[in-house]
Structure 1
């Protein structure tokens, strides 16, 4: 019996965030850039880079409560935008463990009355000193809604340079991979090591190339390059010892949308795979963010997504 495919939600950049939204439910918004919001009774995450010890910039904030759970969940992905940390550092390695850049917050509804968020004055100071990307809200769409609107034209133009460089009949391969009859002949073509994974990636995102995030809790990640043992040998949750499960990934289109709000920030990646504790555990009376696990895959040709 064929396995049931997990639904996939796509995150798309929405309207710009103006000012500093406040209120009891400000933290329920998913966004890219800006400064992280905090759940009630949980300290605002303020992580530092393990290499340069400078504050990390927020890449995305995702509000993602689990179905049939009494808990709120808020995930933050941070990155160091210091050029010295990026050049020749961990970002130049495929399938990188970047655990310290991800924070996982979740809190039961019952304790909202005990909230003690960051005071407004302190939040203003925090905004002034923490490096930031310009903030935009993230809206959500179902991937299935795009399946009938695949356009080969733009996908062909994106891959033309790749075809010329590699000497592969990309247009034929892509046309076969996107055919409505589900033919997978292209996968049997003799191609260079690693290219097949890239073809599958491009096939899947062709219908919605502006997606910046793919969310599918306990689903399957969309690999950009061949995964290493880090994916098959995920570390257990540091708190409960339970297994980790795939939750979401950041996509190449996000890179060009991270516009610097200060200090000339920039980050480069292909895709970032985010894995979280399958039990979504939370220590009793805990008030600081929990670290989860993420892996970075380099973009084999980052210019295709600019």
Structure 2
């Protein structure tokens, strides 16, 4: 007997990113998209190339997701980038995926804040001057003390738990999106020369800045944002027989490759023969049932919400989830996750095949080692889901008026552990 799942009024809303067509002009930092090239909040100050470099093969990774996601009550423009290596041999190893959170202060907010601080400073100077005159009138025995308050404003205040996921700057009501009529990031001054730019990047600790022109890229795909609806469908007992058939077929394929290697196995390689589960993972079943509500979803967004796990959480992943922010030591919270449908939207296999060497024939396979066979049959990246955890306080590193790039935590769950 099936049970009907209903979303209660008190239950947080999960936002879904759904494919919405090809991107023709990929130049808008305020969109939510798959693929394409990164669009920086401050184009003249890109991050270090290390943020998009695979730590396994040391080659540039592909941007697979970018979203403009300001938080309610925050004075910052905020963009999140997710990078992934498209080499199958790099999968299941730490460093083949990365997440970057970028900040820059809203110019209008900063201008208004500095005007307010200047007004407060002048008021305090007048109070000091009046106090000094009064002290002179009554003699040196009367001390009023220093009335100056050194508070620096509310730049570091903790944002409220809200989001602007998928919202254009003209539609967002947060302070972070109150942008002037000119395009954000447009400079009213002359372009700085190369020496000044290098100096600025060095001051930010940015060495070897990213050259977007040299990055590999998938075709860009827009995402439109919709609320997840769980009150219009009945939970079904998903028939996982086809999944079991797939596991059996994969097992047979791996056995054939081992036989072709004259009885040698892939033991000793990180991406070797999989340890197939004895039964279907309960988390996977729950994942499948929930996703059945909207099969085309590519992103699930819920700041400070609960992720939808693809499989049972490993102890090392649990530790990474609960570890504090490496910049300010605040707790980490879940923000969003990328879904496996992305792999059917982005041409990962096609692009990986272009980069790989020619595939060996049957005669060559018999004399090739396992790693060579794997590399030659590179079909690109894989994942079940990518869970992204961020600093709860949304901390900003560096000077208040500088662009900032912070590395966040990506936990990748795969189809077979």
Taking structure 1 as the reference length, what is the TM-score of the superposition?
Answer: 0.72
Q: Among 371, 382, 406, which residue is 1:268 paired with?
A: 382
Between the aligned partners of 1:194 and 1:160, the Cα distance in structure 2 is 10
SS of the residue aligned with 1:101?
strand
- Please, which of 309, 315, 327 is the counterpart of residue 239 of structure 1? 327
Work out the CA distance in 2 between the residues paired with 1:105 and 1:258.
24
Provide the rounded CA distance (Å) in 2 between the counterparts of 1:251 and 1:147: 21
List gaps (5 residues or longer) in structure 1: 120-124, 168-190, 302-306
1:169-184 equivalent positions in 2, closer than 5 A: none
> Is the counterpart of residue 213 in structure 1 residue 210 in structure 2?
no
In 2, Cα distance between the equivalents of 1:270 and 1:214? 13
Report the Cα distance in structure 2 between the residues aligned to 1:165 and 1:287, rounded to whole angstroms. Answer: 47
| Aligned counterpart for 1:256 among listed residues 344, 351, 356 | 344
Whether the aligned pair in 2 keeps the contact of 1:64 and 1:73 (CA below 8 Å) is: yes
Residues 126 and 14 from structure 1, CA distance in 2 versus in 1: closer, same or farther, beyond 3 angstroms?
farther
How many pairs are equivalent? 256
Q: Please, what TM-score do these two structures have when normalized by structure 2? A: 0.54
State the match for 1:11 in structure 2. Answer: 17
Taking the aligned partners of 2:382 and 2:393, their CA distance within structure 1 comes to 31
Report Cα offsets for 1:218-262 as digits up to 9, x if no partner. Answer: 100000100022343232111101111000000011111112596
1:202 equivalenced with 2:288 (yes/no): yes
Structure-1 separation of matches of 2:305 and 2:95: 21
Q: Is the 8 A contact 1:147 1:207 kept in 2?
A: no
Question: Could you say which residue in structure 1 is the equivalent of 2:35?
Answer: 33
Deviations 1:193-222 (A, max 9, x none): 662111110111111011001001110000
Gaps of 5+ in 2: 1-7, 111-178, 193-209, 249-276, 356-379
Encode CA deviations 1:257-306: one digit per residue, 9 max, x unaligned.
112596637321110000000000002324341100110000249xxxxx
Question: Residues 27-106 of structure 1: matches in 2 within 5 Å?
Answer: 27-40=29-42, 43-45=45-47, 46=49, 47-81=52-86, 83=87, 86-87=88-89, 89=90, 91-92=91-92, 98=95, 101-106=98-103
Summarize the Cα distance change of 1:165–1:51 in structure 2 as closer, same or farther, 3 Å threshold. Answer: closer
In the alignment, structure 1 residue 293 sits paired with structure 2 residue 293 = no
Structure-2 change in CA distance of 1:150 and 1:138 (3 Å): farther
- Work out which of the two has the higher radius of gyration on C-alpha atoms and give 1 or 2: 2
Q: Give the conservation status (yes or no) of the 8 Å contact 2:236–2:289.
A: no
Correspondence for 1:148:
232
